[in-house]
Amino acid sequence: MKTNNPNPIPNRRKFLKGFSFALGSTALGLPLLSLNSCQAGGSSGAGNEEQVSQEKQNKGNSNKMGIALVGLGNYSTEQLAPALQETENCYLAGIVTGTPSKAEEWKNKYNIPEKNIYNYENFDQIADNPDIDIVYVVLPNSMHAEYTIRAAKAKKHVICEKPMATSVADAQRMIEACNQNNVKLAIGYRLHYEPFNKRVMELGQQQVFGKVQSVEAANSQDMTKDSPDVWRLDKELSGGGPLMDVGIYCVQGACYTLGKAPVAVTAQFGEITNPEYFNNGVEQSISWKMEFDNGVAAECTSSYAREANLLAGKAENGWWRVSPAYAYEGKEGETSEGEMDYENVYEQVHQMDGQAQSFRNNQESIVPGEMGLRDMKILEAIYESARNNGKRVEIS
C-alpha cells in the first residue's frame, strides 16, 4: 500500500498559481466566500438551521483542541479529515486551501464555519481565530518551513508532516520560530502511536531477545504505474526522491528500534531504468547503511520503482519482522516466539489525539521538532554519501 497517494502537480509555478487562484476575492484580506453564501439570497430558515447545527457541533467540541488542515490533498482528504471525526482530544476546526471548490466542498461535508476557511493569502489572519489551536501542515515538502513558521508567528501549535523540511537549515528555523513564539511543534510520525512499531521499540530498546545485532528496513512504492506529472517527482517541491518520502520511515525504524541516532552512514544511488520519471535530479532508488555507536548496523533500501515494506531485527537470542510495517493498515508481525497479536488501529486518530493532548498539557510531543531535525541531518548525510560514491559520512 502506498504511504501517501501522490497528487498530480506539474510544477512549482503551476502549483503556487493554484494556491493564489482566489487572490482576487481576498486582496483585501477577506476570507474565501463560498458559492452558497453568494447565492443564499434571503432563506433565513436555512440559515437558522445551519446556526443551530453549528452550535450543537461547537458544544460537542468545547473540550477539544481545534485543528486547521493546511493543504487538502489526498492525505488530508482520505486520512486526516476522516480521522478527525473520531478523535477525542481534537477536531477539524478549519481548513486552508487555494481552491474555492474544495473550500465549498469541505465546508458542506464537515460543517466548517465560513470564518474558519482560509486561503494562502489570508492565512496569517488565523492568528485572530480562537477556534483554531493547532495548524497541521500537509503541503509539499518544500513548503513545510514557510507555513510552520507562519503558523508559529500566529501563535498556533504546529503538526508538520514528514519529512520536516527539505534542509537542516529550514528545520532549525522552524524549531526556532516555535520556541520564540512559545508554541509546540510535532512531526507527523504516526507509527510512534501504533502497536506493531511500538512493540519493535520495546524489543530493540529493552533488549528483549538480548543485544540487537542488526536491523533491516525497506520501504518502496512503484511510482512508475502512474503519470510522472506529480509533485513527488519534482525536486523543487519534494527535496528529493523516495528517500525523502518513504525512505524516511526506514531511517525512523532503525532509530526507534535502537532508541538512538546513527553516528555515520554510507549510501549508493541505484540505477535509473525509467528516465521518463527520474530525469530531474530525483533518485529512482537508494540504499544505505546506518552505523550506530554500539556496533549495530541497519541496512536500508528505498525505491520509487518497486514495492517493499519491511522492518526487521535480529538479536542474540531471537528476531522479529513486521511486514507491511509502514502502511496505513494490514500490518502483520512475527518474532522468533510467534506472531505479534495486535490489532491494526486508526493510526492518525491515535497520532493526533496524542499530539493534541501533549499540546494541551504544555508538554513536548513524543515526536517533537527536534526529532525531525535529527532525521533531516541523517537524510542530508545519506545524500552526501550517495553523491560521493558511498563515502562514509559522520553525523554530528
- The DSSP 8-state label assigned to residue 32 in this structure reads P
- 3 state DSSP class of 45: helix
Residue 147 bears catalytic tag: no
β-strand 333-335 against 318-322: which pairing, if any?
A: antiparallel
Identify the active-site residue in 107, 156, 162, 289. 162
Residue 162 bears catalytic tag: yes
In which element (H, E) is residue 318 found?
A: strand 318-322
Q: Which long-range contacts (CB under 8 A, 24 or more apart) does 33-39 make?
A: 33/114, 34/100, 34/103, 34/104, 34/107, 34/114, 34/117, 35/100, 35/104, 36/104, 36/107, 36/108, 37/114
Q: Degrees (nearest 5) of the Cα angle 63, 131, 95?
A: 120
Identify the active-site residue in 193, 249, 256, 277. 249
Q: Is 33 exposed, middle or buried (0-12, 13-18, 19+ CB in 10 A)?
A: middle
Shortest CA distance to 216 belongs to which of 293, 287, 313, 322? 313
C-alpha cell at 194: 501504533
Facing residues of 377 across strands? Answer: none
- Just list the catalytic residues: 162, 249
